[in-house]
A and B are shown apart, each in its own frame.
Chain A
Amino acid sequence: MSQTHASGDNAVRAGSGSFRTYTLGFVLSLVLTVIPFALVMTGALPSGATLWCLYAAAVIQIVVHLHYFLHLDRSSGMDWNMLSLLFTFFIMFLFIGGSLWIMYSLHSRM
């Protein structure tokens, strides 16, 4: 009985997407990849604006991947996944932000 429960659980995990959601995730990712490449390759916008668009497209695409491919959502089954991800983001913020802050002037000091 537990055995069937486990396989059912697993089927739910593997199948928590559908053909439609995977395809939607793929199309969104495609658009969010083409936009930054096109902006950089054509130089359509000034470089400051292009940089902001690059970062915005990357962040949105990461959210798209987390949602449509890794099925991360706010359901209770994903509590620990979400909590550990947010904690990791906090560590990354300290790690990357702190490194850049401290090492920012490295080039000019060498």
Chain B
Amino acid sequence: MTTNTATMTGPVGHGADHDAPGLHALGFWLYLMTDLIVFSGLFSTYVVLAPNTASGPSARELFHLPEVFFETMLLLTSSVVFGYASLAFAAGKKGVGLAGLVLTFLLGLGFIHMELGEFHRLLLAGAGPDRSGFLSAFFTLVGTHGAHVAVGLLWLAVMMGQIVTKGLTVPVRSRLARLGMFWHFLDIIWIGLFTVVYLRGVMS
């Protein structure tokens, strides 16, 4: 209900800055909604092009489900660790929260490492984005998600720096809350990815 106050009083005038966190969170949420539409386009493209393997390797031959399961675990764990970290910050336990962010960062880095490893393996097997419509759509969709995670890692690093140098000020907490929204959002996109691209791909 406090967010509501912020939305109501925010645009009215000079006092807006003080209620900014709630309004900023809503604005960032709207950005996430537009990002969801970007991913909708990439998902539709992938589903339409997935059968077009141009006599090249198919999803079943290329994807390793245990690898994908491990990637999923890394991202899911990083998401819940971020949640624990934000609880620690809310309780004023800066050290615990920072440790949580470091762990989140490492788990996210592990995810990116595994994804790049998979891309590398596909490229070496001659299954690059230029091989077929299926692979073009695959690299675009999964790569766009990976690029988002990489940006999230950069943002995490910046936030750790700000917490150390500026402390848990109101703007820093507000940015941290938005980073949390971004990070959890990426995990939601990944649910769609492992279901539609990997699990469904291996079945077909």
Taking a contact as CB atoms under 8 Å apart, the answer to whether A84 and B48 are in contact is no
Instruction: Known A50-B203, A84-B33; judge A2-B80 contact (CB<8 A).
Output: no
Q: A14-B89, A15-B90, A26-B77 are in contact. List 15 more A-B contacts (CB 8 A).
A: A10-B22, A10-B173, A14-B87, A22-B83, A36-B195, A37-B199, A40-B199, A65-B79, A69-B184, A76-B1, A76-B4, A77-B2, A95-B44, A96-B47, A100-B44
Q: List 23 A-B contacts (CB under 8 A).
A: A2-B19, A6-B170, A11-B90, A11-B173, A14-B177, A15-B87, A23-B80, A29-B76, A33-B72, A37-B72, A40-B202, A57-B195, A62-B191, A69-B83, A69-B184, A69-B187, A70-B185, A84-B33, A85-B33, A88-B33, A95-B37, A99-B45, A107-B52
- A54 contacts B185, CB within 8 Å? no
In the complex, how many residues of chain A place their beta carbon closer than 8 angstroms to a beta carbon of chain B?
61
CB < 8 Å A-B pair total: 164
Q: Which positions 36-51 of chain A face chain B at CB distance < 8 Å?
A: 36-37, 40-41, 47, 50-51
Most buried by B among A9, A103, A110: A9
Taking the closest CB of chain B, its distance from the CB of A8, in whole angstroms, is 7
**What separation, in Å, do the CA atoms of A62 and B76 have in the docked complex?**
12
Query: Chain B interface residue count: which class?
Result: 35 or more
Select A96's contact among B44, B91, B185, beta carbons within 8 Å.
B44
Q: Is the CB of B181 within 8 A of A70?
A: yes
* B1-40 contacts to A (CB < 8 Å): 1-7, 15, 18-22, 25-26, 29-30, 33, 36-37, 40
Encode contact with B along A46-70: 1 for CB under 8 Å, 0 otherwise. 0100110011011001100110011
Neighbour of B37 across the interface among A62, A78, A91, A110, CB < 8 A: A91
Report the Cα distance A49→B35, complex, angstroms.
31
Interface SS of A by simple majority: helix
How far is B177's CA from A11's CA once the two chains are assembled, in angstroms?
9
Complex contact A77–B188 (CB within 8 A): no
- C-alpha spacing A107/B37, complex, angstroms: 25
User: Interface residues, chain A, CB within 8 Å of chain B?
Assistant: 2-3, 5-15, 17-19, 22-23, 25-26, 29-30, 33, 36-37, 40-41, 47, 50-51, 54-55, 57-58, 61-62, 65-66, 69-70, 75-81, 84-85, 87-88, 91-92, 95-96, 99-100, 103, 106-107, 110
Q: Which residues of B contact A99 (CB under 8 A)?
A: 44-45, 47-48
Q: Given A10, A70, A79, A84, which contacts B21 in the complex, CB threshold below 8 Å?
A: A10
Query: Nearest chain B CB to A28's CB is how many angstroms away?
Result: 11
Q: B76 near A26 (CB under 8 angstroms)?
A: yes
Q: Which of A15, A77, A78 meets B86, CB within 8 Å?
A: A15
